[in-house]
Amino acid sequence: MKPHISRRDVLQAAGAVALAPAPVPAAEIPGPRREGPNTPKICLEMGGGGLAAGGIDDAGIRRVKQLGVDYVLTGGPRMPWKEEDLRATRDKLKAGGITLFNMMIGGFPNTIYGRPGRDEEIDKVRQSIRAAGKAGLPVIEYNFYAHRIVEGYYEEAGRAGSSYTAFDYEKVKDLPPLEREGAHNLEEMWANISYFLKAVIPVCDEAGVRMALHPNDPPAPVSRGSQQIMGTVAGWKKLISIVNSPANGITFDCGVTREMGDNPVEVAKYFASRDRINHVHFRNVRVRKPYENYAEVFIDEGQNDMFAVMKELVRNKYRRTIYPEHPRALDYDREHPGFKATYPGGGGYAAFCFNVGFARAMQLAALEAV
């Protein structure tokens, strides 16, 4: 039986619609300047990764857009990438009002360790770069770890029952090398990445794509017998000198910077003023011993002056993505069925809401202040 709708109900509904305020165009919204083509861009991860804020589907797009985020990064497919596959992902996101800005590439262990077969891997990387350029992808992120000693992570109690991701090198400093990786010194690793960069950066320049190398995280002195090229700021500086191109840049991680005992404001200025920051990881830490013992904490309670970092990026006209990553563990996330932390003490979507809100406020305030 259909419900009875009276004339009075119809008039009340019409009146409510008439009284609802019309959306205010972005250009007319008062207050700080808004995010745009020439400003830093807050981003989140999408896809199947453990830190993804949503899948690349309608529901995932809604989750990201509801936070006011218009730019995302994703993990990449198997190499070699194909233009049509990248375009399909880009177009799916674009239809929902989201720009794909950064994609992670991997799958070249022979290149990292200087083994036979690296030339074939590098050729696939070059094919992938060309495909990215044709598909309009601005940035490709990558790692060059001899080993990433995540075995040293553990969960530490945080404020009001939340959790932090902590690291203690003492727990793992004597772990032996893994057979599939071996042990490698700095000279080897610098030779291997130099070979890689000299082969791929000229292709990036032609394709209009930038590379962003993530620093060693954790920045342990030795990781299962291997030294780490990106475990010091001096190493970051050496990296960008190997091939002199803005395409040869870094992922500036202000958390790792403090973990190494350095001031992220000064480090941001050095690399941003040289146009060598191609992606940013925006997070805070408390360091008990540089390189060896620290905890990743909420943005608002660590040793980094996060607002000063944001202002330095704005001051140096940085206009690529800023990822407020590594969400802390909150009860709301942990109570959801199926939730699984990527790192000990890590969180999910609710914690990303906090990160994004905090980063957005700093971004807009910095745009107004600088």
pLDDT, mean of each 10-residue run, the chain (370 residues)? 49 46 60 83 95 96 97 97 98 97 98 98 98 98 96 97 98 96 97 98 98 96 95 97 98 98 98 98 98 97 98 97 97 92 95 97 94
Write b or e for each residue in 292-301: b if 16 or more Cβ atoms lie within 10 A of its Cβ, otherwise e: bbbbbbbbee
The reported pLDDT for the residue numbered 342 is: 93
Token pair for 200: 């791929």
Burial level of 14, CB count in 10 A (0-12/13-18/19+)?
exposed
Token pair for 6: 């009276």
Range list of H helices, the chain:
7-19, 58-65, 83-95, 109-113, 118-135, 186-207, 233-242, 254-259, 264-272, 306-315, 331-334, 349-369
d(CA 5, CA 155): 57
Token pair for 342: 């990527």
Whether pTM exceeds 0.85: yes
The reported pLDDT for the residue numbered 14 is: 44
The reported pLDDT for the residue numbered 222 is: 96
Residue labelled with tokens 């403090």: 258
The reported pLDDT for the residue numbered 29 is: 63
From the list 290, 200, 195, 193, the residue with the least C-alpha distance to 238 is: 193
d(CA 369, CA 319): 16
The reported pLDDT for the residue numbered 11 is: 43
- In this structure, the chain runs to a length of 370
Between helix 186-207 and helix 233-242 the angle, nearest 10°, is: 50
Partnered with residue 167 across adjacent β-strands are: 153, 294
Token pair for 30: 């008062």
d(CA 338, CA 320): 33
